[in-house]
Structure 1
Amino acid sequence: MSDFFPLTKQVSVNMGGDPPTFVSARLPFGTPESVVSCIQHLQEWMVLETTEVVVVGIRYMMRTHAQLFKRLKVAEAMRTFISHHPGGIEEMRSKEKGAIRDETDQLKKEREALEAKYKGAEQENSQLKKDVDELRELETEYQRQVDEMYFFGHRFSMNKNGIMHDIPSLPSDDEDAIPGGPPR
């Protein structure tokens, strides 16, 4: 048998059980022990489950195989293009640099627009602060004028009614109520 498969080795696996079951398989040299342990796990499954697992594994390997071949074809096409068009690399590099320059210019324009917006917002903010300060000054001046008018109106009313003093002098029995203590 080794004449037909010179690069394989025969592996005997004890599947356990009562009575013990041994399986003999021919595996390529360098097959990792993990493969043998996977074979041992299959002993617990029924034939249908084992078949499903094997079919799914084969489909996965076929998909991976197809993807690898697609990648290999792309790599081969790139290698062929590069070997037949040595100036093509420089052309691609210059196109990439141009695209990078264009993107950089676009980003600079966006940054300048944002900076202009920011400066406009700062100017508007400072103008609003000035307006608020002016309004506060006007409010203070208005309140001062109102207070003067009230005071003037109060004095006028007192003079008109013959009142001479602001503070009425009423006799008090409580001498402690006078600030500064009793008179001496």
Structure 2
Amino acid sequence: MHPDLCAGRKYGGSDSGTRATLSSSSEEESADDAAPASPFSYAELEAKLKQITPDWKAIKPSAKMFDMIETGLRSMSQQHALFTQLLQTADYMRTFSSRHQEIENQLRLRMEEAEASLSTMREENEALRVELAEAKGQEESTAGRLHEAEGEAARLRDELSRLRTEVLNEKKQKEDLQLRLDVQKEELEREFAVEREELAADYQRQVDDTFIFGYRCCMKKNGIKRDTLQFLQVKKEAP
């Protein structure tokens, strides 16, 4: 068998293996972008091309040469597709990095806003805590004043009850005193009436005695011996 045909078969078998390798590597490009798509080598292609003599037109092309050219073109096409995918991946990574940077800036801005809001909330919380402490102090002070007011109200109620009791006692004493005064007044009026009657009777006796004394003096002065007035008086007392 001709050596070129053997080489063609050899490279043909290699080509089928290369195709299988390219198929598997195409499926695994996303997993490993740096792995070669085929066992093709530019150095080997360059060495084969240098073997072509100046009178290459007289030489008939062999199957091995066609296989190498086909393999090289396919490898170049696959590498071009791989480079295109790498460029797309780089663009995606650049876009992702830019987007990631933008998102990071937004997150940083939100974090700064959140920190500012948190600081404001802390200040407001501190102010509310101070107000709460003041309100609690005022509440305690109000409770103290309320307790004092309740004590004062209780004292005033006791004082009012005592005053009412005193007023009732004084009223009762006044009524008792008024009753005693009325009784004494009645007794004094009766005594005064008795004394007035006695005085009137005493006065009448004195008047009578004075009249009789004057009458007797007049009789004695005029030499009258018979006492007509006494006779009349005895006559009056006789019945």
**TM-score bracket relative to the smaller structure:** 0.3 to 0.5
| Larger-gyration structure (1/2) | 2
Higher relative contact order (CA 8 A, sep 6+): 2
TM-score normalised to the size of structure 1? 0.37
TM-score normalised to the size of structure 2? 0.30
